Chains A and B, each alone.
Chain A
Amino acid sequence: MQLISRVIGSGGLALTLALAPAMGWAEPAAAQAAASPAGAPAGEVQVTVLGVTAPFFTFGIVKRLEQIPGVQHASFNLLHGRADVQLKPGAVVTDDELRQAVRSASYSIGGIHWIRRPDAAGSASTAGIAAVNQGTK
């Protein structure tokens, strides 16, 4: 602790903050995107997908979701049947696009849970907001 205090006290705080991203101490990716240099917010949504049972089948749903314009990255949690979707900063994706992607992948939708939802004007709700939408096919 004494060493940390000395580093901070000697003006090392700026250096520590500058090195933090490289050392892996940075904020989560979604939070980084939300504070991107352009200042545009990035949306984040969880989609419950029914019928996915193995990694070989996650490929289809992940690929379909990532083909939606505005989606930056998608990953899948098999146990919870949940796709975690991160949007590009400033991008807007509708629930209908998410539903269509799930059906195109030959699966059924269980629900859509927005963690951070950008609106058409390009702004977004603040991070950490709870679900604003639930949908079932």
Chain B
Amino acid sequence: MSRAFRRLAAAAAGLAVVLLLVAPARAQITFPSAAPISAGNVIVRTQPTATEESQGVQSLYDENIVLYGASPDLAFILENKSIVSNSANIVTNGKTAALTATGFGDTVLDTRYNLYEADGIGSTFRIAPYIGIDLPTGMDNTNAFMPRELQPASAAWGTREALTASWQTLFWNAQALIGYQNYASSSGFQPGSSLLADAAFHYMIWPSDLDREVPAEVFASLESNYSLGAVDRMNGEAISGTGGQLWTVDPGILYSEPTWGTAFTALLPILQQYRGPGAPRYDYGFELTFRYSFFTYHHW
């Protein structure tokens, strides 16, 4: 049974890779949670994501995340978009040209503290606040003809504060996050701040017997991501088509073993209201996640 599911997961992962090669990509899902991280545990995740939007906007990026358990209650999270490639049909002097901006993205360093914890046999409820800083490590002008908001990186310092909660049981788990993201201006460009509200539900669909050493599990997942953003500004002037609200619902499937896991998630927009005309609208997106866990002896 285990072998059959491993083959199925490998086949699904292979199919997802093929889809990513032909489908385009942008938008963060799988938000930070309050799930336990052991002291000395390092979890590495890579998440290639592709989205397709109107006006020929296609985005493809690979987000790499490293989580480190510094102590039973304190964790550090480093998020970096290693490669970002945005394409769009840009109209200049009445002519339309397909342009692409490719380069390194920005980095976020988060600190998470386990504020509240209620554990039972096969269950845990946890609340953890996050404080993060956005580091302008990426490229903000790789193609001078592309609009600023379609460059691979913002070049702006920023902060992120969030409160996240997780309620996990043997058969399902639920997560929620509410947060606020704020940026400083850079070279006259001021990305709009945003309010984030996320929720996710995972339901175990395999195996049915847990009264043994369980080698792997398969979950069906449904995630909801909502953001309410202020407009981006250039030299104090609002950029039309930025800001507003975006709500996506993301169904997916997750395969997880003790040391590694993989997930495939579709990104489906439910609500899109932007401030001013001219905004590209999300059509759909895909995200593939690979996760690997290992231990180091170095911790507090």
Among B73, B204, B217, residue most surrounded by chain A Cβ atoms (within 10 Å): B217
Q: A55-B217, A59-B293, A106-B38 are in contact. Are A78 and B170 (CB under 8 A)?
A: yes
Q: How far is the CA of A61 from the CA of B119 in the complex (A)?
A: 14
List B267-300 residues whose CB lies under 8 Å from chain A.
293, 295, 297, 299
List B18-42 residues whose CB lies under 8 Å from chain A.
35-41
**Which chain B residues border A53 with CB–CB below 8 Å?**
122-124, 168-170, 173
Instruction: Say whether chain A's binding surface is mostly helix, strand, loop, or mixed.
Output: mixed
Query: Do B120 and A77 touch across chains, with their CB atoms under 8 A apart?
Result: no
| Total number of A residues with any Cβ neighbor in B under 8 Å | 31
- Give, as a whole number of angstroms, the nearest-CB distance from B169 to chain A: 6
Query: Do B123 and A105 touch across chains, with their CB atoms under 8 A apart?
Result: no
Q: How far is the CA of A56 from the CA of B38 in the complex (A)?
A: 11
Query: Do B72 and A110 touch across chains, with their CB atoms under 8 A apart?
Result: no
Query: Do A79 and B119 touch across chains, with their CB atoms under 8 A apart?
Result: no
Residue from A50, A57, A79, A103 within 8 A of B72 (CB atoms): A103
**Which chain A residues border B40 with CB–CB below 8 Å?**
64, 104
Q: A55-B216, A63-B38 are in contact. Are A79 and B259 (CB under 8 A)?
A: no
**Which chain A residues border B38 with CB–CB below 8 Å?**
60-61, 63-64, 104-106
Instruction: Say whether chain B's binding surface is mostly helix, strand, loop, or mixed.
Output: loop
Is A52 interfacial (CB-CB < 8 Å)? yes
Query: Do A59 and B259 touch across chains, with their CB atoms under 8 A apart?
Result: yes
Query: Do B36 and A60 touch across chains, with their CB atoms under 8 A apart?
Result: yes
Residue of A nearest to B75 (CB): A106
Question: Which A residues contact B (CB, under 8 angstroms)?
Answer: 48, 50-64, 67, 75-81, 103-108, 110
Top-7 shortest CB links A-B: A60-B38, A51-B119, A81-B121, A50-B119, A51-B124, A59-B258, A105-B38
14 inter-chain pairs at a CB distance below 8 angstroms, sorted by A residue, are A50-B120, A50-B124, A51-B120, A53-B168, A53-B169, A55-B214, A55-B217, A55-B256, A56-B261, A79-B170, A79-B210, A105-B36, A106-B36, A106-B73
17 new A-B pairs (CB below 8 Å) besides A53-B168, A61-B38, A79-B211?
Answer: A51-B119, A53-B123, A54-B173, A55-B217, A57-B36, A62-B258, A64-B38, A78-B122, A78-B170, A79-B212, A81-B121, A103-B72, A104-B39, A104-B40, A104-B72, A105-B72, A106-B37
Question: Which B residues contact A (CB, under 8 angstroms)?
Answer: 35-41, 69, 72-73, 114, 117, 119-124, 168-170, 173, 204, 210-217, 256-259, 261, 293, 295, 297, 299
